[in-house]
A = this chain, B = another copy of it.
C-alpha cells in the first residue's frame, strides 16, 4: 500500500514536470514573437540588428541565468532581499525549474530591445542584457517568487509576472529609451513624426505567437498540473484568453472612434496589453474580472503610447514601455480590485490595492535605478548610441555588415 502511494506521488511529480517543460517550451517560442513584433514595427534597415539582439537575449539569458541568476533569485534568502548565489546551478531534479525560469528571464531582458531599437550600439545592448539577466531581474524576482522575499511576506501577489517580468522590462525600457534618446527625425519642430514599421505581418505573427506562448507563461506559473492544479490551469487559460481578446477589441474600437479607422498596430498592442495586464491576476480573478482587466489595459495602452510619444517625447518604436511597463504595473494593482479573495470589489477594502502598489513601486524603483546606473556608466564608457551617419544608413549595414532584404528594392530612406 505504501508502495502504491509512492507510485502515485511519483506519477504526479513526473506529470507536473511534464507540464512545466511544455509550458517552458511555449514561453521559449515567445522569443520568436518578440523578434517579429520588434522588427515588424520598425524599419527594414534595422532587421538584422533586432534579430541579433533578441537571439542574444536568449543566449545570454540561457547562460547567465544558469551561471548565477537562478540562485540569486531562488537560492536561500539572505534577509528576504537576495538569494544565496551559487555558480552553475546543477541541483539534481531541478532542471525543469531552471528551464522554465530561464525563459522567463530572457523575456524580461528582451522587452527593452524594442524600446531602444534602431539607434543603440550593439555592444552596449549586450552588456545591459547581461546585467538585467544576472542582477536586476533575479533580485527583484527574489522579493516575490522565492517564497520568503519581503514582498511575499507583505502579501504581494504577482502570479505570473506582470510586475516581476513585464514591468521590470518595461521600466528598464523607459530609462533606456530616455537615455538613448529618440531616433533621428522622430521629433522635428517639437512634433512627433510617425515612423512606420516595415512589415505588419511580422507584427501580427509575432503577437499571435506571443499570445500562444502566454498560455505557457501564465498556465505554467501554476508550476503543477496534477490533481486540482489541472482545474486551476484551465481557469488561467480562460482568464488569459479573455483579457487578450478584450484588450484587442477595446484598443481597436477606441482608435476607430478617435482616428476614424481601426488601427492595426494599436489593436495588436491592445492584445499584448491585455495579456500583460492579466498576468499578475490570472489565477486570482473571475472571468468577468479578466475581461475588465483586459479591457482597461486595452484602453490605457493606447493612451499611454500616445502620451509617452507625444507628451514625454520618448521614442519607443514598439510601445514596449506602455505595454509592459504601464500595463504590467496597472494589471498588478488591479489584482487589488478584482481578486476574488480580498479585492476591493469583493469587500476587501483598499489594503490589497495598497500592498500591490507597494510592490509595483518598489520594483519599479529598483528597475529604474539600477538600469539608470548601468546605462550611465555605459554612456560614459562605451557610449549608448551609434553615430548619426551609422543610424541613418541603418544598423544592419553598419553594425553587422549585411542587408536583411538584398533582393528587394526599397524606398528612399
Closest chain B CB from A110 CB (angstroms): 12
- Roughly how many angstroms separate A380 CA and B13 CA in the complex, as a whole number? 59
In chain A, positions 348-403 with a C-beta closer than 8 Å to chain B are: 399-403
B408 engages A95 (CB within 8 Å): no
Q: Decide: A242 near B48, CB < 8 A? Known: A234-B21, A407-B410.
A: no
Assess whether A152 is interfacial by the CB under 8 Å rule.
Answer: no
B56 engages A252 (CB within 8 Å): yes
Query: Which residue of chain B is the closest to A12 with respect to CB atoms?
Result: B11
Stretch at the interface among A181-189, A261-269, A310-318: A261-269
1/0 per residue A63-101: CB within 8 Å of B? 100100000000000000000000010101101101100
Assess whether A303 is interfacial by the CB under 8 Å rule.
Answer: no
A211: chain B residues within 8 A (beta carbon) = 28
1/0 per residue A237-252: CB within 8 Å of B? 1100110111011001
B409 engages A62 (CB within 8 Å): no
Query: Which residue of chain B is the closest to A413 with respect to CB atoms?
Result: B407
Query: A18 contacts which of B11, B62, B230 (Cβ < 8 Å)?
Result: B230
B245 engages A201 (CB within 8 Å): no
Of residues A32, A215, A229, which shows the largest number of chain B Cβ atoms within 10 Å of its Cβ?
A: A32
Instruction: Report the count of interface residues on A (CB-CB < 8 A).
Output: 116
Assess whether A344 is interfacial by the CB under 8 Å rule.
Answer: no
Q: Decide: A400 near B237, CB < 8 A? Known: A28-B211, A246-B63.
A: no
A140: chain B residues within 8 A (beta carbon) = none
- Roughly how many angstroms separate A237 CA and B24 CA in the complex, as a whole number? 10
In chain A, positions 253-276 with a C-beta closer than 8 Å to chain B are: 259-265, 267-268, 271
1/0 per residue A1-37: CB within 8 Å of B? 1001101101111110111011011101101100110
1/0 per residue A200-219: CB within 8 Å of B? 11111101110110011001
1/0 per residue A256-298: CB within 8 Å of B? 0001111111011001000000000000001110010000000
Query: A226 contacts which of B14, B92, B227 (Cβ < 8 Å)?
Result: B14
A56: chain B residues within 8 A (beta carbon) = 248-249, 252
- Roughly how many angstroms separate A4 CA and B410 CA in the complex, as a whole number? 68
A15 engages B19 (CB within 8 Å): no
B11 engages A62 (CB within 8 Å): no
Query: Which residue of chain B is the closest to A5 with respect to CB atoms?
Result: B4
Assess whether A148 is interfacial by the CB under 8 Å rule.
Answer: no
Top-3 shortest CB links A-B: A14-B230, A62-B245, A95-B234
What are 5 A-B pairs with beta-carbon distances under 8 A? A28-B212, A32-B208, A55-B268, A59-B271, A262-B400
